[in-house]
Amino acid sequence: MYKKIDFRVRPPYGHYLTMFEQQQEHFARLADAFDLPLSESQRTGSLDQFVREMDEAEVEISVVPGRKAIGVTNGEMLELEKLYPGRFIVFPYIDPMDGLPVKEQVDRYLQTGKCRGVSIEPTHQPSPYAFDHPKAFEMYEILQEAGLPLFISYSAKLMELIDPDSVRQLGVVVYRFPNLKLVIGHGGWPWHREVMAMAFNDPNVYMIPDMYGLAGAGGEDYVKAANTILKDQMLFGTAYPIISQKSAAAYYETCGIKESVLSRFFYDNAAKLLTL
């Protein structure tokens, strides 16, 4: 077993509880699709049980990106950090389209001394926007200058209308902000190869295969990339509660990622990105 940082978790707390209350059928369908069992915390929405499952999977830290689409507030997620000191790192959600000064928001979270990154879901929020919308450029510039990672949830699953042009939009951001540290949750699937090309060209682009690395279509691509061109840029993440941490950890420990690379994948790459 390897110590781990799970870089994509929606824990059973605050408004994230709505996922546990409303999506049990969805959890069951995906568990069947990937031939994985549901954990007790997935079924019950128990935060204490989830932390016990973190221990069982040897997950030392879970990174929690915000989600505006279901009403998750940055305040409630920051409360979570206090409940379990050292176990959760929150990436506050910022919407550059809501009219609030982005710099003031970033500065406010930086003043807490715990802000290690910011989360966005441009295609999956009440008012979706393109990755390369000019209104978002100020936020990208601020985060680039501050050296803070930007977590982007990106896959076709997070789009009402599947839009291949989103690949070009993301590429514009990578090109225009070459020093911006981008973390791509959901692995960019099904355009993961294009995102891998961006990451190969820019060492500041990181990928989390999460559920799409679990023997799904193209899952072998993540393994190959983790072993070769992206060995320093591939991160472990579960997309919990979609997948249990224990099941995801067991899969990735045996999926073909080289033993010499596993410590980077599970912990070292994330620790470096988070400046731990």
Domain residue ranges in the chain = 4-273
pLDDT of residue 163: 85
In the predicted model, is pLDDT for residue 33 greater than 90?
A: no
What's the mean per-residue pLDDT of the chain?
93
pLDDT of residue 217: 83
In the predicted model, is pLDDT for residue 241 greater than 90?
A: yes
Q: What percent of the chain has pLDDT over 70?
A: 99
pLDDT of residue 35: 87
Q: Which fold has domain 4-273?
A: TIM Barrel (3.20.20)
In the predicted model, is pLDDT for residue 113 greater than 70?
A: no
What is the average pLDDT across 225-243? Answer: 96
**pLDDT tens digits, one per residue of 70-98:** 999 988 998 999 999 999 999 999 999 99
Q: What is the reported pTM?
A: 0.94
pLDDT of residue 83: 94
Q: What are phi and psi of 151, to 5 degrees?
A: -90, 120
pLDDT of residue 110: 79
